[in-house]
Structures are given as C-alpha cells and as structure tokens.
Structure 1
C-alpha cells in the first residue's frame, strides 16, 4: 500500500489538472488500521522491514504535495493510519472514528512520522500520553487535541469532504501552494525568519 501511495503522490505532484486531493478508506471498517504486522514478522529482521518502508519514503512525498490534501477518516484509524492522516492538511473525522498509536506496546517506535507530527498538532505531553500508553481515543478527543480539524456525521463524511474540496478548488493554486510552503517551512524557523519567508511568498503570489 505504501508503494501504491508513493506512485499516486508522484502523479498528484505532477498533475496540473488536480486542484484538491481527498484521501479516505474504502468500506466501513477503517480508514487505515495500521501496518501489516505480518510484513515485519516475515522479513529477515525488523531492521530490514523498516528499511524497506523508509526507502518508499511516501511520507515526505505527501508533505511535499503543493495541493490541499484532505483526510476523510472513519472507522479505525490506528498507528500508521493516524500518521498518514496527520500528513494531510485538513482532517475530517467521522464521529465514530477510533484512534490509537499502539507501536510502543508492540516494541516499536512509530516510523511514519508519529513522533514528530503528533506533538506538532497537539501538546508534547498529550503526544507522549498517546504514544506511551497506546490507548484508544475518540474523534471528539482527537478534535480537542488538534489531531483532527473537523468532525462529521458518519453518513455525511464524504459529502462534507467533497464540499470542502469544492471550496478549495475555487482558490488560485499558486496561492495555496505558497501558503502551504509558508506554514511548512516557517513553523520551524525563528519568528523573524518566518516573517521574511511570508513576505517573499506574498510578493511571489502577487507576481503570478
């Protein structure tokens, strides 16, 4: 699946006729229930299994997509599923979604960005709670922590995601691309450097 996501991310990055991306799961059971642990168990070693996943590097590709990416999350959103959602720009969760980050209890550290994206969207203490305990939590709690940005009734999830996508599709793509860059790069800069970046991008957007 990670390999297929990488191929799709490459196509999306190069597709001028795509304005907005919606990432969701098929069926009713899950957005993504996490990594297939049998893949790790059947590999020559845990290290080799992790190296294969890193070589695919779909995670940095998703971050680099300059179009708005909406995650429409439902059912189980576990482990890598939550990590994938956190790489998206807007995260809409069905009200019955169940979240968890169980890797530590399985003797692993999250390998799809969870140690970095969780504390960047919630407080570090909350991220540690979720990562260390692996406990399950609801969409309402995820919203309060900032891990999702909206909650939708389960029977309206896709319609609500499409409505947001239509709104974003009317916005100038260059403006969105520069706005995403300002946040992506500026949040890790000192404030003065971030403000300078914003100024440069405002000028760039105005000249397009």
Structure 2
C-alpha cells in the first residue's frame, strides 16, 4: 500500500494525489519512488486516457524538495536526490497521455517544476507559485530553467528565476504559467471536466498530438512539420480513425477503443 501517493481511476481519468499534506506535499525520497511506480503503471494502462496530478488538502500542491530530509544528506546523496527529482518530473512530461496539473495550493521550486512538466495547469485562487531556488543558494534543477522560458518567454522567465519571486494565482495567469484560475472549491471539478472533454476523443490521437507538439517545439518549423506528418500517419490505419468516420456519417458519438 502506497503511503504518499494515491491514484484513483475514474472514467478513463487517472487522478494522482500527493499525500504528504502535513509536509506541504514536499518531495521526499520515498514519495519520489512511489510517484515513479504509479506513473509506470499509468503509462502502460491503455484504459487511462488523461492524467490529473494534484496535492492533498488545500494548502499545498507541492512545496518542492524535502529540505528537512536533505539537511541530513551527504553531497553525493544530494546529487542523487536532485537527479531523482529531475527524472520524476520528466516522467510526467513523458507520459503518453495528456497531463493536467490541478494546483491546489503553493507550488514552489520542484513543485512548480512538476507542474511545468504537465501539459496544462489549472490553479485554485489561493495558489502561489514560484521558482524560488536562487533565494536558497541554488538554481532550479528539475527543468525549471528550460521549461519556464519555453512556456512564457526568456525575459519573463529570467525575471522570475533571478528574483525568486512568488506569484499569486492571478499573477501566474497573467504571466501565462497557468491556463486558468478557479475557486478552490471548484478545482477538482474543473480539472475533471477538462479531462473528460479530452478523454472522449480518440486516445491514440491524444498520444500522437502530444508527441507532435512536444517534439516539434524542440526543433525548427520544417522538422516540426515532418514530425507532425509522421504522427498523423500513425493514425491512418487505426480502428479508431474508421470509427470516427463512421460516427460522423451516422451522426452519432464515436466509441473509441484505443486501437
């Protein structure tokens, strides 16, 4: 039985809940291992079409690395833990399914880096976010220096990283860090509704669309268009594509099976 990560699957949506609310859902080593175990199962579960990650409670999505645990580590252990955090954050990005971060409270340091690795971010109105590492004598080490500039632009990202500024949910919306801000009481429902809107579509299409977008953004437009073409071609002979055509002709909702 997992102690720090809970996964609930409902109607094709896997909800990953970080369960260390007493420690602001900080990323302990045990929690990181449990997260990777959960994601490994989700990755290969064809019944899961969309993933939502959120924190237990209303105060914290994830406060980043567990600094109390880190105080007791040797330099080598710190390096290993930082690498583990980076791999775990990237694991969210590398999931084939679309991933929604439902930011239910503070998301600082590695917590915001985790959210940045997701496809879409929805924040509760009481959330606060920031890459605060420079105030602690370090820098973002789990992708923050790379993902934030790609999301909001280089100048704005440098401003936030250099200042270690903490933003309110509405400020994060203005910067383009989150796509939507909702009342705390509506966060889970909003995330599930968005997930359901995605999950009704062809699951293989979601996978290939995510692949085309993420891979294409890392290269020039010509190569990106080639990546898109390859992703499109993988869907040509799928049963779901034929089902989509039949459903359109028959004026009914398609029933996709991920085949």
TM-score range relative to shorter protein: over 0.9
Structure 2: distance between partners of 1:94 and 1:88: 16
Structure 2: distance between partners of 1:27 and 1:14: 28
User: What corresponds to 2:253 in structure 1?
Assistant: none
CA contact (8 A) 1:121 1:145 kept: no
Cα shift at 1:55: 4.1
Structure 1: distance between partners of 2:77 and 2:162: 24
Query: How far does the alpha carbon of each residue in 1:26-48 deviate from its partner, in whole angstroms, 9 at most, with x for none?
Result: 01211111111122211012x53
Please identify which structure carries the higher helix content. 1
User: What corresponds to 1:64 in structure 2?
Assistant: 94
Structure 2: distance between partners of 1:52 and 1:98: 25
| Largest Rg, 1 or 2 | 2
> Aligned Cα RMSD in Å?
1.3
Query: How far does the alpha carbon of each residue in 1:86-109 deviate from its partner, in whole angstroms, 9 at most, with x for none?
Result: 111111001121112111111111
Higher RCO structure, 1 or 2 (CA under 8 Å, sep 6+): 1
SS in structure 2 of the partner of residue 158 of structure 1: helix
Mapping of residues 154-165 of structure 1, within 5 Å: 154-165=184-195
Mapping of residues 93-172 of structure 1, within 5 Å: 93-172=123-202
Q: Give the unaligned 5+ runs of structure 1.
A: none
CA contact (8 A) 2:116 2:148 kept: yes
Cα shift at 1:162: 0.7
Structure 1: distance between partners of 2:167 and 2:150: 18
CA contact (8 A) 2:32 2:84 kept: no
Query: How far does the alpha carbon of each residue in 1:57-100 deviate from its partner, in whole angstroms, 9 at most, with x for none?
Result: 21222111011111110221111111101111111001121112
Query: How far does the alpha carbon of each residue in 1:128-170 deviate from its partner, in whole angstroms, 9 at most, with x for none?
Result: 1111111111111211222111111111000111111111111
Number of positions where the alignment pairs a residue of Structure 1 with one of Structure 2: 207
CA contact (8 A) 1:39 1:49 kept: no
Structure 1: distance between partners of 2:120 and 2:165: 24
Distance 1:51 1:184, change over 3 A: same
- 1:206 aligns with one of 217, 236, 245: 236
User: What corresponds to 2:3 in structure 1?
Assistant: none
Q: Give the unaligned 5+ runs of structure 2.
A: 1-30, 239-259
Structure 1: distance between partners of 2:79 and 2:203: 35
TM superposition score normalised by structure 2: 0.77
